[in-house]
Chains A and B, each alone.
Chain A
Amino acid sequence: NAGVTQTPKFQVLKTGQSMTLQCAQDMNHEYMSWYRQDPGMGLRLIHYSVGAGITDQGEVPNGYNVSRSTTEDFPLRLLSAAPSQTSVYFCASRGGTGFSHEQYFGPGTRLTVT
């Protein structure tokens, strides 16, 4: 199993550009989520999904869109990038909605918006 994979590892965008961060897992996990990590702020939840076709907002959803058409994939879209979205983005998945299931994290995408 590859676990949770994310592409790209690094990305530089200009203000106003759009892009999609890819996330895939091969563990048949129902629950997937996106976090952003900023210095001194820990990880903050952007969006999450409890299964294909079901998504919901987390703590900091503004400026981001998600969809979940398959169990495996959970892409994160930035519609119009802003410098405030410069961050490290982590995708995570776990086998069920309950916390008895371990949450697995991808290696992260480092995004810089100039």
Chain B
Amino acid sequence: AQSVTQPDIHITVSEGASLELRCNYSYGATPYLFWYVQSPGQGLQLLLKYFSGDTLVQGIKGFEAEFKRSQSSFNLRKPSVHWSDAAEYFCAVASNTGKLIFGQGTTLQVKP
């Protein structure tokens, strides 16, 4: 069965530091992968998605993610974090039955 694991429940980084959020998936075929961000009290917003092609995907707000088939990973990165990036981040994979399967989420805290 398809699944998504986000190993880090909570991450704290200093403002201006780089960020990497980990995501591992389990899926037999080429996956459709997504990263969403949820600000406090808000719904989810799509940051970026991977369907095929270039394994480095650019998204909104300066985020990027790299698909690594050999590691079954789709890690999210940002070179320099801003205080406004504090939020919860969800990785998701589209299942072969047409549904989105979400990871448990990673809460990002940004220190001034």
Which residues of A are in contact with B by a Cβ distance under 8 Å?
4, 33, 35, 40-45, 48, 58-59, 90, 92, 97, 99-100, 102-103, 105-108
Is A42 within 8 A of B90, CB to CB? yes
Find chain B residues with CB under 8 A from A58 CB: 99
B83 in the interface (beta carbon within 8 A) = no
In the docked arrangement, what's the CA distance between A7 and B96, Å? 31
Please give, as numbers and ranges, the residues of chain B lying within 8 Å of A102 by CB-CB distance. Answer: 46, 49
B47 CB, min distance to chain A CBs, angstroms: 11
Which residues of the partner chain A approach B94 to less than 8 Å between Cβ atoms? 99
Report yes or no: A107 in contact with B43, Cβ–Cβ below 8 A.
yes
Please state if A90 and B43 are interface contacts (CB–CB under 8 Å): yes
Task: Find out whether the CB atom of A99 lies under 8 angstroms from the CB atom of B104.
Answer: no
B43 touches A42 (CB 8 A): no
Contacts A43-B90, A99-B94 given; indicate if A108 touches B102 (C-beta within 8 A).
Answer: no
Give bound CA distance, A25 to B95, whole Å: 24
